[in-house]
């Protein structure tokens, strides 16, 4: 698409230029060709936000520059829809969405409410069903991704679908026409298939379990969710030992046993996750293990996380802070740490599902994010609050080479974490 318009560019210093230009849109970028002057080419990655007011479109750039587009005439709506579409497509690519699409091209009216009933977003959108998530792509605005494991209820009545999430948010999808039935069918199939995957996993590790126990365990450990081992033990005393035995096949049993010896064992959580590429990448077994002590001078204030496939693709252990480092030093009540752990394990779990268990964007430095190879992750950091949370809590990662080396590095990282006072400092092995 191309059309004549006017633009006004305001830079960091507040200086502005206003010119007439030819705007040209491609799937990769927006090009503004002024009548006089140098052209401006904007990758969709550079645009932090698109907003509109009084038939003027504002492009908020990652460089703190704003460009207002106006005098678009009758093509205003089509132009706005197209730039939103292309930007969302690039956002989807860069926001760790590498799964297979099961259904796309479904048009609907949507309303997205928070747990208090306040509207978060609404309008016309395309709906897509991916391997593990529903994605809503508004005609205007940024996409919304909800994992199937985060859904608590889906119901259809009066030709519209209502979806509830774990956080209490609500999505209403309407005006889907003939697509409603097929969309509901595929959504149901995806939820069921993922549930059956988890059930099959439990049946494999505990063959003597009856169907009810397998179903209950799978409901708790639904797609990507880690479950407290005490909760699992309440279902059956055989579940946790079976999961722990399975860790040997996933190449993480020795690491799990060592971290467990340092941990508050009642807070350990175990999880199961469908691979990003289904059968091509295998499934993940993963754990979250909190390490802390009533003596805050002892190494700790950390939650260890590791995820691995049966092919042994996960060969690093990741550590996240529980409390800010200065705060941890002043904590006198171990119950306060324990309570913080409960919420933080859920926060880390939710964040990991939102970033599809990608780990590279968690540990890359700010300098690395500015390299061309990792620009996609830079956009993901800007776009995804969950990823920013993980990066802010991240202490460091310990890479596996030998068990002895790994244990020594874990000890070094934990000591570093309680001796350092700056939350922004990350642990790096000396040779790194």
* 354-367 per-position pLDDT tens digit: 888 888 899 999 89
User: Does the fold of domain 95-193 match that of domain 2-73?
Assistant: yes
Neighbouring C-alpha atoms within 13 Å toward the C-beta of 232: 24
With CA atoms as reference, report the closest residue to 319 among 363, 286, 261.
363
Q: Please report the beta strands in 71-117, taking only residues with DSSP state E, as ranges in sequence order.
A: 101-113
* Domain boundaries defined on the chain: 2-73, 95-193, 224-419
Counting DSSP H helices and E strands in the chain, the numbers are 13, 20
Torsion region of 415: left, alpha or beta (phi above 0 gives left; psi -120 to 50 gives alpha): alpha
Provide the pLDDT for residue 277.
47
Task: Quote the pLDDT of residue 254.
Answer: 92
Please state, as a whole number, how many other Cβ atoms lie within 10 Å of the Cβ of residue 279.
Answer: 8
Q: At 297, is the pLDDT very low, low, confident or very high (cuts 50, 70, 90)?
A: confident
Q: Which of 44-58, 308-322, 404-418 has the highest mean pLDDT?
A: 404-418
**32 has pLDDT over 70:** yes
Q: Give the range among 49-53, 182-186, 294-298, 337-341 with minimum mean pLDDT.
A: 294-298
User: What average pLDDT does the segment 235-251 reach?
Assistant: 91
**H helix or E strand, kind and range, residue 351:** helix 334-354
Q: Which of 92-101, 116-125, 414-423 has the lowest mean pLDDT?
A: 92-101
Class in CATH terms, 95-193: mainly beta
Q: What is the pLDDT of the chain when averaged over all its residues? A: 88
Contact 101, 128 (CB under 8 A): yes
Q: What is the pTM of this model?
A: 0.83
**pLDDT tens sequence across 84-100:** 989 888 888 776 556 78
CA gyration radius, the chain = 24
- Confidence at 281, pLDDT banded by 50, 70, 90: low
Give the C-alpha separation, 271 to 252, whole Å.
Answer: 13
Angstrom distance (rounded) from CA 260 to CA 220: 22
Q: Domain 2-73 carries which CATH code?
A: 2.30.29.30
Rounded to 10 degrees, the C-alpha dihedral 36/41/46/49 comes to 60
- Residue 432's pLDDT is 46
- Give the integer Cα–Cα distance in Å for 361 and 318: 12
102-124 mean pLDDT: 94
Rounded to an integer, the average pLDDT of 145-170 is 92
Residues 6+ apart with CB under 8 A from 170: 112, 113, 117, 162, 163, 164
Query: CB neighbours (10 Å) of residue 179?
Result: 15
pLDDT for the residue numbered 278: 47
Mean pLDDT value of segment 133-145: 89
Which DSSP category does 373 fall into? G
């Amino acid at each position: 698409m191309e059309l004549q318009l006017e633009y006004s560019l305001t830079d960091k210093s507040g200086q502005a230029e206003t010119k007439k230009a030819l705007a040209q849109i491609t799937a990769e970028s927006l090009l503004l060709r002024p009548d006089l002057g140098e052209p401006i080419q904007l990758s969709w990655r550079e645009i932090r936000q698109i907003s509109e007011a009084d038939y003027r479109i504002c492009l908020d750039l990652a460089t703190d520059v704003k460009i207002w587009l106006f005098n678009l005439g009758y093509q205003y709506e089509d132009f706005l829809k197209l730039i939103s579409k292309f930007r969302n497509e690039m956002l989807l690519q860069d926001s760790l969405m590498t799964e297979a699409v099961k259904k796309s091209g479904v048009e609907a009216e949507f309303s997205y409410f928070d747990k208090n009933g306040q509207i978060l977003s609404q309008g016309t959108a395309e709906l897509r069903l991916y391997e593990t998530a529903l994605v809503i792509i508004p005609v205007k605005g940024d996409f919304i991704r909800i994992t199937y494991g985060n859904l608590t209820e889906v119901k259809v009545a009066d030709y519209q679908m209502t979806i509830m999430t774990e956080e209490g948010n609500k999505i209403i999808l309407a005006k889907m026409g003939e697509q409603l039935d097929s969309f509901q069918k595929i959504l149901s199939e995806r939820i069921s298939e993922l549930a059956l995957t988890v059930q099959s996993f439990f049946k494999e590790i505990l063959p003597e379990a009856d169907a009810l126990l397998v179903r209950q365990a799978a409901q708790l450990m639904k797609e990507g969710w880690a479950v407290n081992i005490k909760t699992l033990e309440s279902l059956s005393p055989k579940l946790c030992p079976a999961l722990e035995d399975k860790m040997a096949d996933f190449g993480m049993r020795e690491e799990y046993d060592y971290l467990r010896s340092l941990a508050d064992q009642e807070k350990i959580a175990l999880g199961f996750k469908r691979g990003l590429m289904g059968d091509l990448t295998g499934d993940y077994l993963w754990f979250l293990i909190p390490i802390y002590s009533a003596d805050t001078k002892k190494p700790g204030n950390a939650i260890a996380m590791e995820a691995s496939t049966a092919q042994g693709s996960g060969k690093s252990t990741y550590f996240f802070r529980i409390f800010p480092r200065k705060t941890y030093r002043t904590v006198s009540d171990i119950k306060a740490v324990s309570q913080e752990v409960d919420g933080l394990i859920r926060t880390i779990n939710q964040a990991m599902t939102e970033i599809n268990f990608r780990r590279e964007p968690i540990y890359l430095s700010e300098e690395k994010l500015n390299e061309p190879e990792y620009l996609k992750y830079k956009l993901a950091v800007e776009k995804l609050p969950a990823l920013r949370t993980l990066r802010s809590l991240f202490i460091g990662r310990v890479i596996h080479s030998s068990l002895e080396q790994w244990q020594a590095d874990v000890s070094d990282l934990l000591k570093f974490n309680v001796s350092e006072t700056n939350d922004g400092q990350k642990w790096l092995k000396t040779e790194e």
